[in-house]
C-alpha cells in the first residue's frame, strides 16, 4: 500500500486522504463562453468558500480549478484547525492601528468558528475533533506559551485553555521530549480533503458552476474582466484569484510574485493498536511544536498516526519522504520505531514575506481580488478570507480593508531565483531557531 506516486501530478496525490475520500464527484471541463457575476480561480478552501459566501449573497459564481477540487494544499495538509491569523500581528500596528491589530486577533478565533459552523450546518463528514496542543521544545517556548495563556485569560478567553508543565504533559502525549504544552480545546483536527469535497458540494447546491481540469491561462483586465481557459472563457464583474502557492507568475505577476511555494510533507502509518493510540495520544488531540521546522501530528479516524513536517524552500521534493521524515517521527515517539508507513505525500504551502495572509484587491483593477500566503496556517484563515471578500463585494469592506492596507513585498529574483534565495534566508532562521 506504500505510496510512491509523484507528489505533483495532475491527479490527486496518492495520500491517506485520497484513499479515504468521500465521493470524488468529477466536475466538467469548461468548454464554452459563459458570463457570471464572479469568477473564482482555484478550487481549494479559499476558492470554494468564497464561492459559498458569494452564492449565499445572491451572486452567480463560476469556479475554475486547474486540476481537481481540493487537489492543492487544501486536500493534502495536516488537517490541524488552529486559532490565530498571521504571526506577530503587532508588527503592523503602524499600518493598521490598534483597532486593526485587535480585529485580526479576534478574526483568528472567528475563523475556527466559521469552519465549525460550516461542518455542523451542512453535516460535512470530515471527522472534526476538537482538541489541540502547542508543544514547547525549549524553555523560551514555555515562556511564550505562559504569556499567551495569561493574555487569553486576561481578555476573558481562557475557557478551554490549559497550560501543562513538563510533569503534567503525559495527560495529553506519550512523548518525553517536550518541556510543556498549551492545550486549546477550541482548536482541533479534521480530514481536509473531505472538508473541501463537502464544501464543494455545498457550493454546487447553492448554484455555483464548478469546472475541473480548467486552468485559467490568461486574464484580460477591465471593467468586466475576462478569464480564458484552453477551451472556454468566463466574463465577469468581479474576479477572485485563489490559486495560492500554485498560482505561478503568468496570470498576474503582482499577485504571483508575492507568494512563494514551500514544500511540506506527511506520513501516515499503518493502523495502530488501540493500546498504542492510548499511549501516544490519549485524548485524540492534534499537536504542533513551536520551531520553524516544526513537526505536526494527530491520529486519523482509523488509528493511524499522521505525521507532518520537513519544510523545503528549494522547490525540490525530497527523493524519499519516508526516509527524510521518519527520524523526526521516531524521535517524538520512540515507541513507533520501525512502524510501517502506508502513505507518504506532500504539497505546497504559500509563504509571504511577512507571514500575514495577503487578502486584497489589485490597485490597477479593483474588481480583481486575491487571497493567499497563509503559510502553514490556512485551514482556518482561508475561511476568514472568503468571508472578508464576500463582505467587500457587498459594500462592507471595513474588515477586508484592514488586510488590504498592509503592503506585501514582491520576492526578488523572479520565478527562477527566488526559491534558492528563500532557501538561503530560511537557513539563517533555522540557525537562529537552534537557540
Using CB under 6 A as the criterion, which residues of the chain lie in contact with ligand FAD when the complex forms? Answer: 41-47, 64-67, 71-74, 76-80, 82, 215-216, 242-247, 251, 264, 266, 296, 308, 346-349, 372, 374, 376-380, 382
How far is the C-alpha of 324 from the C-alpha of 320, rounded, in Å?
Answer: 6
Minimum CB–partner distance for residue 185 and ligand FAD (Å) = 17
Residue with cell 477591465: 222
Minimum CB–partner distance for residue 329 and ligand FAD (Å) = 15
Minimum CB–partner distance for residue 350 and ligand FAD (Å) = 6
Residues in the chain: 435
Give the residue with the Cβ less far from ligand FAD, 109 or 279: 109
Minimum CB–partner distance for residue 137 and ligand FAD (Å) = 18
The three state secondary structure string of 34-47 is EEEEEEEECCCHHH
Q: Residue 140 is inside which H or E element, if any?
A: helix 139-154
Taking the CB of residue 432, how many other CB atoms lie within 10 A of it?
A: 9
How far is the C-alpha of 348 from the C-alpha of 252, rounded, in Å?
Answer: 19
Minimum CB–partner distance for residue 373 and ligand FAD (Å) = 8
| Residue 23 main-chain phi, psi, to 5 deg | -40, 120
Residue nearest to ligand FAD (CB): 378
Minimum CB–partner distance for residue 172 and ligand FAD (Å) = 18
How far is the C-alpha of 216 from the C-alpha of 39, rounded, in Å?
Answer: 10
Q: Are strands 341-351 and 209-211 parallel, antiparallel or unpaired?
A: unpaired
Give the residue with the Cβ less far from ligand FAD, 127 or 146: 127
Give the residue with the Cβ less far from ligand FAD, 76 or 141: 76
Minimum CB–partner distance for residue 234 and ligand FAD (Å) = 11
Minimum CB–partner distance for residue 153 and ligand FAD (Å) = 24
Short-list 288, 262, 297, 290, CA closest to 426: 262
Residues 371/386, Cβ–Cβ less than 8 Å: yes
21 class by beta-carbon count within 10 Å (0-12 exposed, 13-18 middle, 19+ buried): middle
Give the residue with the Cβ less far from ligand FAD, 88 or 165: 88
- Region for residue 394 given its phi and psi (left: phi exceeds 0; alpha: psi -120 to 50; beta: otherwise): alpha
Give the residue with the Cβ less far from ligand FAD, 280 or 310: 310
Give the residue with the Cβ less far from ligand FAD, 142 or 325: 325
Give the residue with the Cβ less far from ligand FAD, 64 or 422: 64
C-alpha cell at 349: 504551502
Residue with cell 504551502: 349
Give the residue with the Cβ less far from ligand FAD, 191 or 399: 191
Minimum CB–partner distance for residue 46 and ligand FAD (Å) = 3
Give the residue with the Cβ less far from ligand FAD, 377 or 387: 377
Give the residue with the Cβ less far from ligand FAD, 146 or 382: 382
How far is the C-alpha of 234 from the C-alpha of 211, rounded, in Å?
Answer: 11
Short-list 147, 160, 17, CA closest to 83: 160
Contacts of 406 (CB under 8 A, 6+ apart): 92, 95, 96, 354, 356
Minimum CB–partner distance for residue 188 and ligand FAD (Å) = 11
Minimum CB–partner distance for residue 433 and ligand FAD (Å) = 19
Give the residue with the Cβ less far from ligand FAD, 44 or 86: 44
C-alpha cell at 327: 527520524
Residues 229/214, Cβ–Cβ less than 8 Å: yes
- Region for residue 334 given its phi and psi (left: phi exceeds 0; alpha: psi -120 to 50; beta: otherwise): alpha
The three state secondary structure string of 95-109 is HHHHHHHHHHHHHHH
Amino acid at each position: 500500500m506504500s505510496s510512491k506516486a509523484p507528489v505533483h501530478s495532475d491527479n490527486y496525490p496518492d495520500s491517506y486522504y485520497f484513499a479515504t475520500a468521500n465521493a470524488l464527484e468529477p466536475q466538467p471541463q469548461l468548454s464554452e463562453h459563459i458570463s457570471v457575476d464572479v469568477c473564482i480561480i482555484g478550487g481549494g478552501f479559499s476558492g470554494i468558500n468564497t464561492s459559498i459566501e458569494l452564492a449565499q449573497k445572491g451572486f452567480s459564481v463560476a469556479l475554475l480549478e486547474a486540476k481537481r477540487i481540493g487537489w492543492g494544499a487544501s486536500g493534502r495538509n495536516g488537517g490541524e484547525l488552529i486559532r490565530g491569523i498571521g504571526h506577530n500581528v503587532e508588527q503592523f500596528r503602524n499600518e493598521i492601528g490598534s483597532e486593526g491589530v485587535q480585529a485580526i486577533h479576534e478574526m483568528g478565533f472567528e475563523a475556527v468558528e466559521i469552519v465549525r459552523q460550516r461542518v455542523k450546518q451542512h453535516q460535512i463528514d470530515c471527522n472534526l475533533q476538537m482538541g489541540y496542543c502547542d508543544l514547547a521544545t525549549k524553555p523560551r517556548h514555555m515562556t511564550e506559551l505562559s504569556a499567551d495563556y495569561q493574555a487569553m485569560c486576561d481578555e476573558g478567553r481562557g475557557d478551554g485553555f490549559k497550560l501543562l508543565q513538563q510533569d503534567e504533559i503525559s495527560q495529553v502525549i506519550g512523548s518525553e521530549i517536550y518541556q510543556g504544552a498549551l492545550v486549546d480545546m477550541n482548536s482541533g483536527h479534521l480530514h481536509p480533503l473531505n472538508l473541501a469535497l463537502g464544501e464543494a458540494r455545498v457550493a454546487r447546491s447553492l448554484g455555483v458552476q464548478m469546472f475541473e481540469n480548467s486552468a485559467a491561462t490568461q486574464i484580460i483586465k477591465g471593467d468586466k474582466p475576462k478569464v480564458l481557459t484552453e477551451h472556454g472563457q468566463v466574463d465577469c464583474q468581479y474576479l477572485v484569484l485563489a490559486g495560492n502557492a500554485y498560482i505561478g507568475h503568468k496570470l498576474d505577476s503582482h499577485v504571483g510574485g508575492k507568494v512563494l511555494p514551500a514544500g511540506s510533507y506527511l506520513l501516515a502509518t499503518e493502523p495502530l493498536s488501540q493500546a498504542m493510540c492510548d499511549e501516544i495520544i490519549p485524548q485524540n488531540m492534534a499537536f504542533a511544536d513551536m520551531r520553524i521546522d516544526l513537526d505536526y501530528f494527530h491520529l486519523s479516524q482509523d488509528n493511524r498516526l499522521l505525521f507532518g513536517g520537513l519544510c523545503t524552500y528549494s522547490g525540490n521534493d525530497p527523493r524519499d519522504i519516508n526516509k527524510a521524515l521518519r527520524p523526526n517521527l521516531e524521535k517524538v515517539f520512540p515507541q513507533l520505531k520501525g512502524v510501517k508507513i502506508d502513505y507518504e505525500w506532500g504539497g505546497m504551502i504559500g509563504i509571504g514575506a511577512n507571514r500575514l495572509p495577503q487578502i486584497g484587491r489589485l490597485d490597477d483593477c479593483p474588481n480583481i481580488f486575491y487571497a493567499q500566503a497563509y503559510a502553514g496556517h490556512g485551514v482556518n484563515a482561508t475561511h476568514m478570507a472568503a468571508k472578508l471578500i464576500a463582505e467587500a463585494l457587498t459594500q462592507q469592506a471595513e474588515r477586508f480593508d484592514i488586510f488590504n492596507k498592509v503592503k506585501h513585498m514582491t520576492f526578488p529574483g523572479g520565478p527562477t531565483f527566488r526559491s534558492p534565495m528563500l532557501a538561503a534566508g530560511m537557513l539563517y532562521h533555522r540557525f537562529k531557531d537552534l537557540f
